Amino acid sequence: MNVSRRQLLILLPAAAVAWKSVLAGTPEDSPNYKMSDHWWGMLIDIPKCIGCGNCVRACQTENDVPDGHFRTWVERYHVTDENMVSPQVISPDGGKEGFPVAAEDAGKYFFVPKLCNHCADSPCTQVCPVGATFITPDGVVMVDPKYCLGCAYCVQACPYGCRYIHPEKQVADKCTLCYHRITKGLTTACCETCPTGARQLVDLKNPKDPIHEFLKSHSVQVLKPQMATGAKVYYNDLDGSVR
């Protein structure tokens, strides 16, 4: 190939620009999505949850979650007058196939769907020795499966028990807040399939998101606030007995 000096001078900067874009890594799948415009969380409306298990099944389908492990699960609390401190909690197979029928009984029942709280100051990301788990600029706590060693330090560090070691990949695995969906303008699989609207994806950086009005007008709580994790899963009407 014969290249004149003039052509070479034109080609070289073009090649440099192309090489720079190669070095920048894999471009994101959604070109219109800007991470700095979002700060994701979730709202869970306890009085609306009927314990059908749709969210658990949808999550397992959407994210290929192995059997016996859960990125989200539902717990049923039974609090009696005699024992307000240690209520009976059940979650058969994560509530995936619903719950056994409860006969009319003393005390109160309610369902508590649980998932990763996508904490702003998460203990799990702080303990990772290799930088394999982190919070993205849009507020999603994620695991990099190519970097994770499977040491399970983060599994122990999570105060909410939201992480597990994937039995085949042998790396830490957890809720990604359906990152592949929310970056395309869809809601998460659990919110999409929740029949009563008990789970709602919220974007705290979007001034038009109804969450702002909701937080002002309802008694909303996060799990284990004393841990100061900056949890972003908000529970409406959460009972004091929930741990």
Partner 1 sequence: MSPFKEAGHLFRFAGLFVLAFLVFLVVRHYVVPKSFGEYGHYRGAAIGEMAAHPVKFAGHETCEGCHTDILDVKKKGKHAQVNCEACHGALANHANDPASVVPVKPDTAVLCARCHTMSAAKPKGFPQVVPADHSTGLPCETCHNPHSPAMDAGGAK
Interface residues with partner 1 (CB under 8 A) are: 23-30, 33, 35, 47-54, 58, 61-63, 76, 78, 98-99, 101-105, 109-111, 131-134, 136-137, 142, 144, 146-147, 176, 179-181, 183-184, 186-187, 189, 192-197
Q: In terms of CB distance, is 157 or 224 closer to partner 1?
A: 157
Helix (H) or strand (E) holding 173: strand 172-173
**Least Å from the CB of residue 161 to partner 1:** 22
**Least Å from the CB of residue 3 to partner 1:** 28
Q: In terms of CB distance, is 59 or 158 closer to partner 1?
A: 59
Is there a contact between 71 and 227 (Cβ–Cβ < 8 Å)? Answer: no
Q: In terms of CB distance, is 14 or 103 closer to partner 1?
A: 103
User: Cα dist. 183→34, 35, 118, 151, 212 in Å?
Assistant: 9, 9, 16, 29, 21
Which value, to the nearest 10 degrees, does the dihedral of the CA atoms of residues 222, 228, 230, 235 take?
0
**Least Å from the CB of residue 241 to partner 1:** 15
Q: In terms of CB distance, is 58 or 223 closer to partner 1?
A: 58
Question: CB atoms < 10 A from the CB of 57, how many?
Answer: 19
**Least Å from the CB of residue 32 to partner 1:** 12
Closest CA to 138 of 102, 108, 166, 178: 178
